[in-house]
Amino acid sequence: MKIIGFIEKNLLVPVVLSICLLLTVSCTASPATPPETNKEEPTTYQMEINLLDAKREVAVDSQGKIESSTEMASADGTISLSIDSDTILLDKDGEPIQLIQATVDPKPPSPPEDADYVSSVYDLRPQGAIFNPPLKLTLSYDPDELPQGLREKDVYIAFYGDSQWEMLHYKQVDTERHRVATQIKHFARYAVLISSEQSAPAPTPDSDPIPETDRVNVVYFHRANRCYSCVYAEEQTRYTLEIYFNEELNSGWLTFKAVNLQDASNAAIIEKYGAYTSQLFINTVTGDTEHIEHVPEIWQFLGNNEAFSSVIRNKVMKALEEID
């Protein structure tokens, strides 16, 4: 019996030690790493832009959102597209676009009865694609094709859909480089046209319109001889207002005006704003009080569409809040 007791006593010690060791290890070990989730990050692919065989690839995520702003023109400069970062581009089935392509239509439809072509007709595909926000389309035109007596600033871009041409009312006409820009919300056939009927020149006001209600007037001053920076500033300001404040523009709460500093008829408004070179002003009108603010910081962001627009948006939003 003593032998059995001795064996049981000596066997019990290592068993107890083993149990204690296991408990110690389990208490000091780091907690288990949680299992990885199946959450997938949006994948990125390269979407091709092909404008008359000039090609470029841009990064787009799996939701159809372009990762950075891009501007591309055909080799001959007759057509260009500008796409802001975070723009979503989807085809008619709601799927991300793989290819944007522009070609010259070899058999274009006839122009409207009251208009003439002053450019080629461009077929942009895929048709039925939708964008948010709209893209900026710029087309060149031939000034030699203008009917006698008609002015370059009267050209416009139209698209062909449902068997007829439809004018796009928003436009930016550059008579020095003979091109016109607009905003498009879908792909179709596009061309630069001009009315075949001569219109009387519109009078040029020499000052801001007398406000009937509180409003915000955005005024851009420029010289007759314009450089790239000057033209860019006006175009990007106009584009920003049309994209982000279209409702306010249509209602009259917001106005935009470009003023030639070297036009004698603009003397009153030039004196009022104290303008002397290419400058942007925001005038907040409340009753009989006008608060004119110079916006010089735009020049820090030339060529950076997103940053430039951000400055304009923030300034205009603040001004509109003051007249609410």
Structure tokens, 147: 């009917």
Q: Are residues 170 and 293 in the same domain?
A: no
Last residue of a domain, one of 143, 165, 195: 195
Q: Are residues 169 and 49 in the same domain?
A: yes
Helix (H) or strand (E) holding 191: strand 189-195
Structural domain boundaries, residue 160: 44-195
Per-residue pLDDT tens digits for 221-254: 998 888 888 888 998 999 899 888 988 888 889 9
Last residue of a domain, one of 195, 229, 261: 195
- 233 in any annotated domain: yes
- 131 in any annotated domain: yes
Q: Are residues 143 and 253 in the same domain?
A: no
Q: Are residues 144 and 178 in the same domain?
A: yes
139: number of Cβ within 10 Å: 21
Q: Are residues 64 and 116 in the same domain?
A: yes
- 204 in any annotated domain: no
Q: For residue 31, what pLDDT is reported?
A: 41
- 1 in any annotated domain: no
Percent of the chain with pLDDT over 70: 82
Q: Are residues 48 and 190 in the same domain?
A: yes
Range with the lowest mean pLDDT among 8-12, 43-47, 149-153?
8-12
Tell me the whole-structure pTM to 2 decimals: 0.55
Q: Are residues 116 and 84 in the same domain?
A: yes
DSSP string, 214-253: -EEEEEEEE-SS--HHHHHHHHHHHHHHHHHSHHHHHHTS
Q: Are residues 191 and 72 in the same domain?
A: yes
In this structure, the strands spanning 215-222 and 254-260 are parallel
- 4 in any annotated domain: no
- 6 in any annotated domain: no
Per-residue pLDDT tens digits for 275-322: 999 999 999 999 889 999 999 999 999 989 889 999 999 999 999 999
Last residue of a domain, one of 137, 165, 195: 195
| pLDDT confidence bin for 14, thresholds 50/70/90 | low
- 313 in any annotated domain: yes
Number of domains forming the structure of the chain: 2
Among 76, 62, 68, residue whose Cα is nearest residue 120: 76
Q: For residue 204, what pLDDT is reported?
A: 44
Q: Are residues 316 and 176 in the same domain?
A: no
CB within 8 Å of 53: residues ≥ 6 apart: 74, 75
Angle at 146 between CA 143 and CA 150, to 5 degrees: 115
Q: Are residues 103 and 242 in the same domain?
A: no
- 210 in any annotated domain: no
Q: For residue 227, what pLDDT is reported?
A: 87
Per-residue pLDDT tens digits for 83-116: 988 899 999 899 999 999 999 999 999 999 889 9
Tell me how far apart the alpha carbons of residues 156 and 193 are, in angstroms, rounded to a whole number: 6
Q: Are residues 168 and 286 in the same domain?
A: no
Q: Are residues 133 and 257 in the same domain?
A: no
Average pLDDT estimate for 169-183 = 87
CB within 8 Å of 107: residues ≥ 6 apart: none
- CATH code of the domain in which 103 resides: 2.60.220
Q: For residue 163, what pLDDT is reported?
A: 87
Asked if pLDDT for residue 203 goes beyond 50, the answer is no
Contacts 24+ apart (CB under 8 A), 248-251: 248/216, 248/320
- CATH code of the domain in which 220 resides: 3.40.30.10
